[in-house]
Amino acid sequence: MKTAILNHLLYTVGKQALGATARDWFLAAAHAVRDRVTERWMPTLDGYYRDDVKRVYYLSMEFLIGRTLVNSLINLDLYDTVRDALQALGQDFEEVAAWEVEAALGNGGLGRLAACLLDSMATTGVAGFGYGIRYDYGMFTQHIEHGWQVESPENWLRYGNPWEFPRPGVIFPVRFGGRVIHFRDSRGHDCTQWVDAEEVMAMAYDIPVPGFGGERVNNLRLWSAKSTREFDLKYFNAGNYIEAVRDKNESETLSKVLYPSDLTVRGKELRFKQEYFFVAASIQDILARFRKSHSNWDRLPDKVAIQLNDTHPALVVAELMRVLVDEHRVPWEQAWTITQGCCAYTNHTLLPEALETWPVELFARVLPRHLEIIYQINHEFLQGVRYRHPGDSELLGRVSMISEGAEKRVRMAHLAVIGSHKVNGVAAIHTGLMKSTIFSDFEHLSPGKIVNRTNGVTPRRWLLAANPRLSALITRHIGAGWITELDQLRRLEPLADDPAFCAEFVEVKRANKRAMAEMMAQRLGIETDPDSLFDVQVKRIHEYKRQLLNLLHVVVRYARIRANPLLESQPRTVIIGGKAAPGYVLAKLIIKLVNDISEVVNNDPLVGRRLRLVFLPNYNVSVAEMVMPAADLSEQISTAGTEASGTGNMKMAMNGALTIGTWDGANVEICEEVGEENMFLFGLTAQEVARYRVDGYDACARVRANKDLAMALDMIASGFFSPDQPDRYRSLIDTLTVGGDHYLLTADFASYMAAQDRVDRAYADAEGWTRKAILNVARMGKFSSDRTVIEYARDIWGVDLGR
Ligand code: 26W
């Protein structure tokens, strides 16, 4: 390994040991590791050809991979080897590893789930291929200036990406615009052609994805936009060199940047083009691979499963139809059976503002042929509905793929549902709500199509790699089988009553908290007490996730200390982290509020060690890897019925945090596993929330009726935390009162405060808390993404894993 690293330092990086920077050492080590990954990658792909296996294609606009070095070392069992080799070369492993820039090609939950599923496919034995976009700029870096979020672009490829293989030979044209012509060919067949379109090229970059144990290495293929040769020549021949290069730039903007907003990207033509860009390239690649060993199109669903990660790749349905019908002359009916047989769609959100629709006008301009195909699919679908439900014209309007109104729009979710053989939600409650709300008509029309696949997270990254202290402790007591069979953690249960084990467990948590406290002191200049309760809420900033509810608790706690300076109070460190979409004004205001409150609280000598509030800047995968193992309390407090699943809830519980949460998303199933006595659940149920919304309720009356709530809101609204601009939070607080409090913070407030009191009391009983924390770890087996993948494989992908 030493020689391998030195060789790469010299021949790949072009440096000598003398004068090599830590980054040079990182690159050299990464290449040495990549060699080992590559050796296992080729045989894996060869084996897939040889055995003609069914391939699973996971299409996602986002892959939030994070850093790769440590994960590869762990999956290949090379961690000690490389650490020792670097040591022998005079380098500190952790310092070198810290130079890796993470691949942040995603916003949050949806992108991170895609990365966890890739790891689990490679580990459990699925021939799984990711397809996505190689954004030049991934998720922005968040800086805090005067308490406000400031975004800066992250040029993550500046020093090269050692994990990727550019494939200049794998390049496909993708067309936009033009028009459609219909004609009859010499044999009298009706034909359709899409002509006069502009062309952009999609070039492949491959990233190997090693499974745990290193036997199998799958592939993640990301597309990058390149201008076409013809494009250049057209202008060049006209003598306009500068124009040619300008246009070249423009066509390459397609893969320039990730839209940094989950939930809404309204009317952004570039985003629409990005979606088609990666869909069209992926379909060409998938079909070319199929055609190497098959000639019968009917066999496609036996060999190809295409999973749509939300509706962002839903154009697959229309594109696959277009290619089969227009280019390969497959009869329409047959093409439709094939398309439905291949596709399945995962829904990740119920929020109406997040359901993608695109104006028909935009379709007509950018993808005219696809619009025709969508109309045709819709026509046939509605005919079937009309036949089964004669006279129900309202039903037709509700299920149509086109929403009528001032502006006609294509409903991408309906395209995805109708074009798929299975549709899934990501937690039991979420799937139930899909069936009873947004997709209730489809549930009646095709019972059994909508199924649940509860999310999971990979225990390799989120326990083994992120929390080496806890994983060593676990392995010492129950062996290493849990790494690939997480249910084995159950064997820890009896140890919850073993004082020696408990003592070790406490020591692990304390060490993780100390490391976290050091980081906060170093990077943020905030001193925190590692013996205080670490209360953590890390996730995107959203009204529905209710970071504001968390802040109300902090304010009440602070006010109580001020009102009674001698009050005994369980010391707390409240940590909040997350990015706001750049255009989401209220979310950015919430970040400023965290910082304003923390400024006051952390500098108030009256408070002493009893309370700290920390905003953790630039929350990303690497930060998460440090935070998850240090959390005591996991805040999962979304309005019931709004968080599809959540996955941070799983990561924290797996690392021994107790959850304070609502009856939402996967919290419900975590409760089923770990037991309600080991969590702090509170608040309205999804049914109650729905009833409140129908009946309407008086938020202002709620505020008047609760002194703590009224006081906290008044302190914030009157400028107590923002003396430099007393009305800064007026608009934010108004959303909770005169604004109607859509996310029901005032309705859940009292119940949340009561749950926080239970937390304090439970934490005061150190032994009782430790027991609960151990039982949380022991009972999280269900939430391995290996289980999730196995469930998808069985009857969505039709892949036999021999289990
Ligand atoms: C159109 C722009 C856009 C971008 C992303 C719309 C919607 C999204 C995602 C659906 C947002 C997202 O990340 N959803 C999260 O998915 C996770 C994985 O299933 C769940 O755990 C989270 O609860 C859900 O919010």
pLDDT in tens, 91-149: 999 999 999 999 999 999 999 999 999 999 999 999 999 999 999 999 999 999 999 99
Catalytic residues: 348, 539-540, 545, 647, 651
For residue 456, report the distance from its CA to the centre of ligand 1, in Å.
Answer: 14
Out of 148-152, 190-194, 511-515, pick the least confident.
Answer: 190-194
313 has a pLDDT exceeding 70 = yes
Q: Which region holds residue 681: left if phi is over 0, alpha if psi is between -120 and 50, else beta?
A: beta
Q: Residue with the nearest Cα to atom 22 of ligand 1? A: 646
Q: How would you write 495-511 as a 3-class SS string?
A: HHHCHHHHHHHHHHHHH
Q: 417: closest CA among 437, 394, 400?
A: 400
If you ran DSSP here, which 8-state letter would residue 610 be given? S
Q: How far apart are CA 417 and CA 427, in angstroms?
A: 18
Q: Are 382 and 399 in contact (CB under 8 A)?
A: yes
In a domain, 701, yes or no: no
In the chain, the amino acid numbered 735 is T
For residue 113, report the distance from its CA to the centre of ligand 1, in Å.
Answer: 9
Shared domain for 353 and 247, answered yes or no, is no
**What pLDDT sits at residue 18?**
94
Could you tell me the pLDDT band of residue 234, with boundaries at 50, 70 and 90? low
In a domain, 708, yes or no: no
Q: 273: closest CA among 174, 168, 376?
A: 174
For residue 110, report the distance from its CA to the centre of ligand 1, in Å.
Answer: 5
Query: How many structural domains is the chain composed of?
Result: 3
312 has a pLDDT exceeding 90 = yes
**What pLDDT sits at residue 235?**
67
pLDDT in tens, 382-401: 999 999 999 999 999 999 99
**Residue to mutate (ligand 1; options 310, 579, 649, 792; most atoms within 8 A of CB):** 310
**Residue to mutate (ligand 1; options 348, 434, 543; most atoms within 8 A of CB):** 348
* Residue ranges making up the domain that contains 638: 459-689+747-784
**What pLDDT sits at residue 239?**
73
pLDDT in tens, 186-196: 888 888 999 99
Could you tell me the pLDDT band of residue 773, with boundaries at 50, 70 and 90? very high
Residue listed under structure tokens 């892959």? 63
66 has a pLDDT exceeding 90 = yes
Shared domain for 217 and 357, answered yes or no, is no
**What pLDDT sits at residue 263?**
72
Shared domain for 238 and 275, answered yes or no, is no
For residue 307, report the distance from its CA to the centre of ligand 1, in Å.
Answer: 15
Q: How far apart are CA 730 and CA 736, in angstroms?
A: 10
In a domain, 793, yes or no: no
Ligand 1 pocket at CB < 6 A: 107-110, 113, 262-263, 265, 310, 348-349, 354, 356, 426, 455, 643-647, 665
**What pLDDT sits at residue 645?**
98
**What pLDDT sits at residue 232?**
62
Which ligand 1 atom minimizes the distance to the CA of 354? Answer: 6
For residue 650, report the distance from its CA to the centre of ligand 1, in Å.
Answer: 16
The predicted model scores a pTM of 0.97
In a domain, 789, yes or no: no
- Tell me which of 215, 236, 259 is where a domain ends: 259
Collect all residues with Cβ–Cβ distance below 8 Å to 112 and sequence separation of at least 6.
64, 106, 621, 647
Shared domain for 369 and 479, answered yes or no, is no
In the chain, the amino acid numbered 728 is R
Query: What percent of the chain has a predicted confidence (pLDDT) above 90?
Result: 93
Could you tell me the pLDDT band of residue 247, with boundaries at 50, 70 and 90? confident
Shared domain for 252 and 279, answered yes or no, is no
Shared domain for 297 and 439, answered yes or no, is yes
Q: 135: closest CA among 259, 245, 270?
A: 259
Mean per-residue pLDDT for 326-341? 97
Strands 572-577 and 533-538: parallel
**What pLDDT sits at residue 264?**
73
For residue 382, report the distance from its CA to the centre of ligand 1, in Å.
Answer: 29
For residue 303, report the distance from its CA to the centre of ligand 1, in Å.
Answer: 29
Q: Are 463 and 212 in contact (CB under 8 A)?
A: no
Q: Which region holds residue 214: left if phi is over 0, alpha if psi is between -120 and 50, else beta?
A: left
Which ligand 1 atom minimizes the distance to the CA of 346? Answer: 19
Q: Residue with the nearest Cα to atom 11 of ligand 1? A: 262
**What pLDDT sits at residue 231?**
61
pLDDT in tens, 410-466: 999 999 999 999 999 999 999 999 999 999 999 999 999 999 999 999 999 999 999
Which ligand 1 atom minimizes the distance to the CA of 263? Answer: 6
Q: Residue with the nearest Cα to atom 10 of ligand 1? A: 348
Which ligand 1 atom minimizes the distance to the CA of 271? Answer: 1
* CATH number, domain with residue 54: 3.40.50.2000
Which ligand 1 atom minimizes the distance to the CA of 112? Answer: 18
Q: Residue with the nearest Cα to atom 17 of ligand 1? A: 109
Q: 354: closest CA among 522, 147, 110, 585?
A: 110
In a domain, 706, yes or no: no
In a domain, 281, yes or no: yes
For residue 262, report the distance from its CA to the centre of ligand 1, in Å.
Answer: 6
Average of per-residue pLDDT values in the chain: 96
548 has a pLDDT exceeding 90 = yes
**Residue to mutate (ligand 1; options 110, 539, 544; most atoms within 8 A of CB):** 110
Shared domain for 237 and 360, answered yes or no, is no
In the chain, the amino acid numbered 536 is V
In a domain, 719, yes or no: no
Q: How far apart are CA 303 and CA 3, in angstroms?
A: 43
Shared domain for 275 and 409, answered yes or no, is yes
- Tell me which of 238, 259, 280 is where a domain ends: 259
248 has a pLDDT exceeding 70 = yes
- Tell me which of 212, 227, 259 is where a domain ends: 259
For residue 348, report the distance from its CA to the centre of ligand 1, in Å.
Answer: 5
**Residue to mutate (ligand 1; options 117, 349, 642; most atoms within 8 A of CB):** 349
Residue with the larger pLDDT of the pair 422 and 246: 422
Shared domain for 474 and 618, answered yes or no, is yes
Q: Residue with the nearest Cα to atom 21 of ligand 1? A: 646
pLDDT in tens, 254-274: 999 999 987 777 769 999 999
Q: 297: closest CA among 262, 331, 253, 261?
A: 331
In a domain, 424, yes or no: yes
Shared domain for 121 and 75, answered yes or no, is yes
Shared domain for 543 and 602, answered yes or no, is yes
78 has a pLDDT exceeding 80 = yes
Q: What is the CA radius of gyration of the chain?
A: 27
Shared domain for 425 and 500, answered yes or no, is no
Beta bridge partners of 103: 66
Which ligand 1 atom minimizes the distance to the CA of 312? Answer: 1
